[in-house]
Structure 1
């Protein structure tokens, strides 16, 4: 894709850049990066999202890198004529709210589960969406500020788990491109004081509730916690030497939120969660990391013992997928 085509599509319009709900560091960095890229080419855009920025590390990004994002409720003036660029997200996915504006562009690194005709589409199977955005600066020789380069570098580090998860050549090439252009004091600052005291309660619940069946670890968190924290805990559970697939789910106000992690090349986590949750909800994601949700109104369909129902469904699907390997 030619990034200048995106500039031409958006020129002379009111533009919003929308991330997935409850944006994580890669989503925030990617949105900031494309906002600054567009600004360099004469197109102003506002960043928006639905849900909350509820992890301390994500909140800290806004202050550290000077990023301004608006929640859906802060956008009363958005109209049907306004243009939306989806970043680190895709239209019709369960983790993206359908805002009133027109989604004309999509820049993402997740698999496509719901095809949609955008005027501009750049979806690549790479480790971090931030890598795609960084490539726009490199391809077009667009100047990048030290803060923006630092934010994108941090986004790459976080979504690839420091190059240990789903990393591709583009991720390493773009990190190298950003390395000499970034303010590394800003990146270093992001690694201090990023855990909140309440996070320990979620870790404790997951440890207390963990059950392991033949290398598949299940853990339930029986209270609301940030989506990003659920993902972090799933990484933590996967780090156990006896766990090859981690399935973490937490009770939230809108349903049961899932985070899945698989060891590299074992099976496709996105397909696993999509297939299992299909009768009750939805899910999807990358080969090694994925997520999903069962809405509150469908939880009763799991029966009296939802844990056994979920465990049986996941283990059955895992066995089916392993037989097909």
Structure 2
């Protein structure tokens, strides 16, 4: 066993341990938590997988059901105390997309860039790779730990989902892990899970969302003026990149007291995570990878700038993007955009998941 894995095992022994995903967990978060739970079980460390928010997509729920993954909602955590240990997977303490539970977050395993610096982890494994599933699978591979077929299938599915079938954010480690997992996984099941990416009841919403797209020099904005899940926002953001005149997409919808964002980029120079972090710095928070990111903005702070929130949001992003030269792009004056002044406020927690 490696020194790093032995450190985690030693840290957790003798404690009640929870594995916490980000809110409204997606396939990568669930697969990572499941794979880690099975791995720790081999060292007689029992764990509980916990989360806040529902499993939103049918394809994700199908995986949970197929492998009988036991997931506990935060509302059902009756016995967690401040003495219990929490491992966060596919997210990091301090982000707005992960509920702050009463337990002690002692460890993090994640593949996202660090936007909120936390110094009190006792174990940290953050690698900028295509998926968190990649990191969990690498534990099995490096330390020659036997992997059940269900774990291999879940991890491969999580890897394929977060890299969108190896079209974004792929590293050499992701490729190596794919080769490791492929012969162990049930690819028939993965095809079955993937077939539910768009659900029947969402078809009208999907069409409606296409009617609200505005494009400026390859940057597309779509306001979804209806209730939709975080996962659906991300699906629309991915889809818009298929439009021939679009290379950067910003999709957003209302929440109770603000706006939820999903951002995608297929241009190397336009780093989605950095752009949304800077664009929302004074009205909310955001972050993520170069090609995919998420965020949240306060409605009151947006409306403090102007009641035309769509124009405010467009200007927040375009004012950043216009400063970044990239191939095939020329910044030009947008006559229809009002000049804005963003009030400086204390930064909020970062929201990088369900991007």
d(CA) in 2 for partners of 1:60, 1:268: 33
Output aligned runs, 1:206-217, within 5 Å.
206-217=209-220
- Deviations 1:114-139 (CA, angstroms, capped at 9, x unpaired): 11121110000101110000000011
Offset at 1:96?
Answer: 1.1
Aligned residues of 1:165 and 1:264 also touching (Cα < 8 A): no
Say whether residues 1:186 and 2:166 are aligned partners. Answer: no
* SS across alignment from 1:93: coil
* SS across alignment from 1:304: coil
**TM-score normalised by L of structure 1:** 0.96
Say whether residues 1:230 and 2:241 are aligned partners. Answer: no
Distance 1:287 1:89, change over 3 A: same
Aligned residues of 1:10 and 1:83 also touching (Cα < 8 A): yes
d(CA) in 2 for partners of 1:67, 1:318: 42
Larger Rg: 2
Counterpart of 2:289 (choices 281, 286, 290) is 286
d(CA) in 2 for partners of 1:76, 1:173: 41
d(CA) in 2 for partners of 1:126, 1:10: 25
Output aligned runs, 1:82-161, within 5 Å.
82-117=84-119, 118-161=121-164
Offset at 1:304?
Answer: 1.1
Q: Which runs of 5+ in 2 are unaligned?
A: 330-355
Aligned residues of 2:153 and 2:181 also touching (Cα < 8 A): yes
Moved more, 210-219 or 44-53: 44-53
Output aligned runs, 1:37-52, within 5 Å.
37-52=39-54
**TM-score normalised by L of structure 2:** 0.88
Moved more, 130-139 or 221-230: 221-230
Aligned residues of 1:280 and 1:301 also touching (Cα < 8 A): no
Aligned residues of 1:224 and 1:253 also touching (Cα < 8 A): no
- Over the residues paired in the alignment, what is the CA RMSD in angstroms? 1.6
Offset at 1:175?
Answer: 1.1
Counterpart of 2:16 (choices 11, 14, 17) is 14
The residue number in structure 2 matching 1:54 is: 56
Q: Which has the higher helix share?
A: 1
Counterpart of 1:28 (choices 27, 30, 37) is 30
Aligned length, in residue pairs: 324
